[in-house]
């Protein structure tokens, strides 16, 4: 009996973890392909090869998988963002680092996040809005709000400022993902310039 404790995760535990991972992985891809709303629990388990009922041994609903994926995204991204934040010398530097981290993350995940087309699709349906993508985006947003509130930018209403920044961040990110090859450096430069100096800055840097 006591062995049970000393022994590393037994076979049972192992498959348990593996199954959980399999489900998350399946969910990730299927969310990316069909969009959160369109996905059914069946879509997810079908892709794992597991039985229907098994799903409920791991998650109570589609929402719960989505939450897990969000957490996953956050867990992976948060430390990166935190590190960059701590190294940042000032507001401008922080923005550059945050966006750089964000775009790098996006590029790595691009198979899910908005892999296909810009948001302006003819009829509704926001593609590629993965739970993870949203979660990571939210991390960035929060950090910007905080930094702005802390007065870093000295530019009036911090919420408005943050709104503008994340607006740029998000849409420029989309543009980036649509292009081939995906150029995170260019995207970061562009977004940062826009944030710091607006069109004026672009003009200057383009000349």
Nearer to a second copy, 70 or 184 (CB): 70
Cβ-count burial of 106 within 10 angstroms (0-12 exposed, 13-18 middle, 19+ buried)? buried
Q: What's the rounded Cα separation, in Å, for the pair 154 and 92?
A: 11
Does 60 contact DNA by CB under 7 A? yes
C-alpha distances out from residue 177 to 93, 153, 184, 195, Å: 23, 28, 9, 19
Examine residue 55 and tell whether it contacts DNA (CB under 7 A).
yes
For residues 130 and 117, give the distance between their C-alpha atoms in angstroms, rounded to a whole number. 14
CB 57, min distance to a second copy, A: 12
180 contributes a contact to DNA by CB under 7 A: no
Q: Least separation, in Å, of the C-beta of 133 and a second copy?
A: 9
Which residues in this chain contact a second copy in the complex, by CB under 8 A?
Answer: 35-38, 63, 66-67, 70, 91, 120, 122-126, 129, 131, 134, 138, 141, 153-157, 159-161, 163-164, 166-172, 174-175, 187, 190-191, 193-203, 205-206
């Amino acid at each position: 009996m006591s062995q049970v404790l000393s022994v590393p995760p037994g076979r049972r535990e192992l498959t348990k973890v593996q199954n959980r991972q399999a489900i998350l992985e399946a969910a990730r891809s299927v969310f990316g392909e069909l969009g959160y709303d369109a996905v059914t629990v069946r879509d997810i388990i079908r892709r794992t090869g597991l039985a229907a009922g098994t799903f409920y041994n791991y998650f109570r609903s589609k929402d719960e998988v989505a939450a897990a994926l969000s957490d996953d995204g956050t867990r992976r991204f948060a430390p990166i963002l935190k590190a960059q934040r701590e190294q940042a010398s000032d507001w401008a530097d922080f923005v550059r680092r945050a966006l750089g981290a964000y775009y790098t993350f996006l590029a790595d995940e691009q198979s899910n996040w908005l892999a296909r087309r810009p948001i302006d699709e003819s009829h509704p349906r926001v593609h590629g809005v993965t739970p993870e993508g949203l979660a990571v985006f939210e991390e960035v947003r929060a950090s910007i709000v905080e930094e702005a509130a802390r007065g870093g930018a000295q530019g009036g209403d911090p919420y408005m400022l943050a709104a503008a920044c994340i607006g740029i961040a998000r849409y420029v990110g989309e543009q980036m993902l649509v292009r081939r090859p995906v150029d995170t450096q260019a995207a970061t430069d562009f977004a940062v310039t826009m944030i710091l100096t607006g069109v004026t800055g672009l003009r200057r840097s383009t000349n």
